[in-house]
Amino acid sequence: MRLALHLAWRFLREGRAQSILILAGVTIGVAAYVFVSSIIASLQRDLLSRTLGTQAQIVVSPPEPEARALREDDTLIARRVEPPEPRRRPFDGWLRHVRALETTEGVSAVCPKVAGPALAGRGAAERAVLVVGADPSRLREIVDLASKMKDGAYRTGGDQALVGDGLADELGLRLGAPFRVTTDRGPTTLRVAGIFDSGAASLDDGWVVTSLRTAQTITGRPGDVTELDLRVDDVYEAESIAASIEARTGLEAVSWMERNRDLLTALKSQDQSSTMIRVFVMLAVAMGIASVLVVSVVQRRGQIGILRAIGASQRLVLGVFLLQGAIFGVIGALFGVALGAAFAKGLGNVTLFAIELEASILIGAASISLATGLVSALLPARRAARLDPAAAIRGDG
Amino acid sequence: MMGAEVRSDAMLELEAVKKSFGEGEARVEVLHGIDLRVRRGELVALVGPSGSGKSTLLNLIGLLDRATSGVLRVQGRDVAPLDDVALTKLRGEALGFVFQFHHLVPALSVVENVMMPAALKRGGFDAAMKARANALLEAVGLKGQGERLPRQLSGGMQQRVAVARALMNDPPLVLADEPTGNLDTQSSDQVFELLRERHRELGTAFVIVTHDPTLAARCERVVRLVDGRVVADGTPDEVLEDRRARKA
């Protein structure tokens, strides 16, 4: 091994220009791999956090009543079955469901919530809003508004409410300012305890967050909730957890994946295209290494023959050329990872999302580079090891 | 009893060795049943016109190629059943090579080239090996040239490096294919003297393929090969025509 490494290094050093060129190729390939992987991973992370940061990962609600055809002794009486009229459905036994869901495997937080439409107004200005009522500490586990407070405090209770900066601008609301919230039950006056900027227009322009009790009063649902919002340990498990909740409880459970099919498709497409880019880049790298080593074997036929003649085994010759591939892989990985990371960090300064370098991407790139070096060296190495020494020395075999 | 003694004295034995290339109608037999014995410490010249099979025979003796039929023994050991690994090992231990075009490894320094047979045997370089390689370089008149690259030396100097390399493992048999073939007269003399010196001092056996009758005449024994057959085997006076003619 030591001798094989020595010979491999000397061979690479002898063909310096060739070695530097292919090393540059491997470096650029690995850098492209790291760069593309980091950008895509960060972009996906950002998209997911923006999407899931403002909505529950699973929403559990009472089941929709099913429209059934009117029958009498197996005789269908109605000609057409109309869907039932929308009406308020009480969430029977929601507290029991909360306790059961809190112990469900994979579920990390449960927030009972009341949400209902209303009109928020101040003076003559009015805007359609969604009154959201929940325990603030539980709501924080689902939608972290506490960390996005622009003004005031994350505090609800009594007549205190949180509004988004969009709504505050529309209605001219400041901290402590009273405003009207009107539902079919009549108007209620709330006061602004805090203004948040979540980054999502639907929340910033349309949410009025109050305590659970206040929202129950405003929406006319005393003691009731409209839904249970859940957070899960693994966001990509949300769909299967939702399905198992539905099967177990008979409630309706909708995951973020079901609600955001387009986003999921976009994420998968990004994944696929980034995988294709990485595969083609590494294929190009592999072909580069292989072609250089094939040329190297041809150029060194005589030397290989002489080494075999003076006692070098086929295994040693195989090792010498495999190690050349490995050296390309290792050095290319070191430079490539550094270069790719630097590019990604540099781009992170000008993009709208933060680019984080994941250890798994860097280690993955380095491992793939080494594997590519070894695999692409395999064919030339076998060719070198199988050279007939007598023919190689004569220069004709 | 006598046979056993002869065998133990034999460095190299060939019995009815044939070598052919190609298959079917394209098959060409280059060696037609060679019988040859080289004793330990012999200095043998192998002469013959181009195409007589000298290099093919040398490749067989050097275990770089396999005979089509016949028996080849190196140090009493039949090489036919040996696999590539065993052949490589035997080649590294029992044989040294000097080629016409010196064939040094250009990527390695001069001293590394000389050390290579020992390094291949032991799996790496060490200080003792380097000391011996430097001593050999000094013996061939290349003291202080060890760290240079082969391309920085003249053809004659490179051939002397090749001689030093061939002697690195103290092999009992050195095979030399036209070792002075592309050297000027002075370098040629120097290289041959080196070989003869090792032969005299260490009893190393040499089989030297040469076209040069002067060089062949300086060997103890000359084997003449014509059309793949040994046609003469004896002292230079017995085998070399010009010497016979001069004597006559």
Q: Dump pLDDT digits (tens) for A238-291.
A: 999 999 999 999 999 999 988 888 888 888 888 888 888 888 888 888 888 888
- In the prediction, which pLDDT does A339 show? 92
Is B121 in the A-facing interface, judged by CB distances under 8 Å?
yes
Give the ranges where chain A is alpha helix by DSSP (H).
2-14, 16-52, 94-102, 136-142, 165-171, 201-206, 212-219, 238-249, 256-259, 261-299, 301-309, 314-348, 359-385, 389-394
- In the prediction, which pLDDT does A352 show? 66
Q: Dump pLDDT digits (tens) for A46-59.
A: 888 888 888 899 99
d(CA A269, CA A232): 24
d(CA A191, CA A189): 7
End-to-end C-alpha distance for chain A, whole angstroms? 27
- Looking up tokens 């003619």 gives B245
* Phi and psi angles of residue A12, each rounded to the nearest 5 degrees, phi first: -65, -40
Contact B64 A313 (CB under 8 A): no
CB atoms within 10 A of CB A363: 12
Is B213 in the A-facing interface, judged by CB distances under 8 Å?
no
Enumerate the residues of chain B whose CB falls inside 8 A of the CB of residue A10.
Answer: 105, 107-108, 112
Closest CA to A25 of A246, A292, A208: A292
Is A14 in the B-facing interface, judged by CB distances under 8 Å?
yes
Helix (H) or strand (E) holding B94: helix B84-94
Enumerate the residues of chain B whose CB falls inside 8 A of the CB of residue A386.
Answer: none
Tokens of A387: 């050279």
Contact B91 A310 (CB under 8 A): yes
Is A11 in the B-facing interface, judged by CB distances under 8 Å?
yes
d(CA A383, CA A324): 14
Q: Using the 8-state DSSP alphabet, how is residue A127 labeled?
A: E
- When comparing pLDDT for B112 and B199, which is higher? B112
CA pseudo-torsion sign A74, A80, A83, A84: negative
d(CA A307, CA A316): 10
Instruction: Supply the mean pLDDT for chain B.
Output: 86
Contact B89 A311 (CB under 8 A): yes
- In the prediction, which pLDDT does A140 show? 92
Helices A261-299, A314-348: inter-axial angle, 10-degree rounding: 140
Question: Does the pLDDT of residue B7 top 70, yes or no?
Answer: no
Determine which of B21, B59, B61, B111 to mutate to test the interface with A (most A C-beta atoms within 10 Å).
B59
Contact B65 A314 (CB under 8 A): no
- In the prediction, which pLDDT does B119 show? 92
Closest CA to A348 of A20, A60, A41: A41
- In the prediction, which pLDDT does B2 show? 39
Enumerate the residues of chain B whose CB falls inside 8 A of the CB of residue A7.
Answer: 107-108
**Beta carbon pairs, A and B, within 8 Å:** 76
pTM: 0.72
Tokens of B235: 């002292």
- Nearest CB among A303, A313, A314 relative to B105 is that of A303
Question: Does the pLDDT of residue B4 top 50, yes or no?
Answer: no
Q: How confident is the model at residue B6 (pLDDT cuts 50, 70, 90)?
A: very low
- In the prediction, which pLDDT does B3 show? 38
- In the prediction, which pLDDT does A173 show? 92
* Phi and psi angles of residue A296, each rounded to the nearest 5 degrees, phi first: -60, -40
Contact B105 A306 (CB under 8 A): yes
d(CA A108, CA A56): 12
- In the prediction, which pLDDT does A395 show? 63
Residue ranges of chain A with per-residue pLDDT less than 50: 397
Closest CA to A214 of A128, A140, A113: A113
Is B89 in the A-facing interface, judged by CB distances under 8 Å?
yes
Q: Which residue of B has its CA nearest to A316?
A: B120
- Nearest CB among A13, A307, A316 relative to B105 is that of A307
Query: What is the average pLDDT across B58-63?
Result: 91
d(CA B147, CA B109): 5
Contact A390 B59 (CB under 8 A): yes
Contact A10 B108 (CB under 8 A): yes
Q: Dump pLDDT digits (tens) for A95-132.
A: 999 999 999 999 999 999 999 999 999 988 899 999 99
Residue length of chain A: 397
Enumerate the residues of chain A whose CB falls inside 8 A of the CB of residue B84.
Answer: 313-314
DSSP string covering A131-160: EEEE-HHHHHHHS--GGGEEEE-S--BTTE
Task: Please give, rounded to a whole number of angstroms, the shortest distance from the CA of A18 to a CA of chain B.
Answer: 14
Q: How confident is the model at residue B247 (pLDDT cuts 50, 70, 90)?
A: low
Q: Which residue of B has its CA nearest to A387?
A: B64
- In the prediction, which pLDDT does A369 show? 86
Q: Dump pLDDT digits (tens) for B154-197.
A: 888 888 898 899 989 889 999 988 887 777 787 778 778 888 88
Is A389 in the B-facing interface, judged by CB distances under 8 Å?
yes
Q: Which residue of A has its CA nearest to B113?
A: A307
